[in-house]
Amino acid sequence: MAGLNPSSQRQKSEINVIPMLDILLVLLVVAMLGLMSVLIPRIQLAEQPPESGAPSRSTSIVLELPDSGGFVLNGVPVEDSALESYLADVFDERPVKSLLFAPGRTRRYSEVIDAMDRSYNAGVQVLGLMPRRTRAGSN
């Protein structure tokens, strides 16, 4: 048995560092997230009290484009030629210049875009479309 060397038969024990590195990386990420919640200030919006009671749905201005043609602003018919000047008068004193559109089912897309463009030219800053399910009398 001259070929057997007792020193070559010993097993070498090495520490597997991969799991230890995984745990260290997880701890690093948790520590970074914890520091972010401490270092980044929270944004708190100040609640503004309503000026004259609770806001009602009547404060919204809705421009309807009925299927029959023309324009109706909050129930008042408006002539096509006077739309921009009428909108400019309505929104002149309002601090929030937002307008909701309620186009009819048969109105063309180009007519709705034209009305939006004309209202923007009249000074409206925020334009929105009303979904059909929230309109009165829609199915």
CATH 3.30.420.270 describes domain 57-133? yes
pLDDT tens for each residue of 88-121: 888 888 888 889 998 988 889 899 899 999 999 8
Residue 76, SS3 per DSSP:
strand
In this prediction, residues 9-18 reach a mean pLDDT of 80
Assign residue 74 a region (left: φ > 0; alpha: ψ between -120 and 50; beta: otherwise).
left
| Mean pLDDT score of the chain | 80
Strand pairing class (126-129; 62-65):
unpaired
What confidence category does residue 54 fall into, taking pLDDT thresholds of 50, 70 and 90? Answer: very low
**What are 98's two structure tokens?**
């937002």
Strand pairing class (62-65; 98-103):
parallel
**What are 64's two structure tokens?**
């309807």
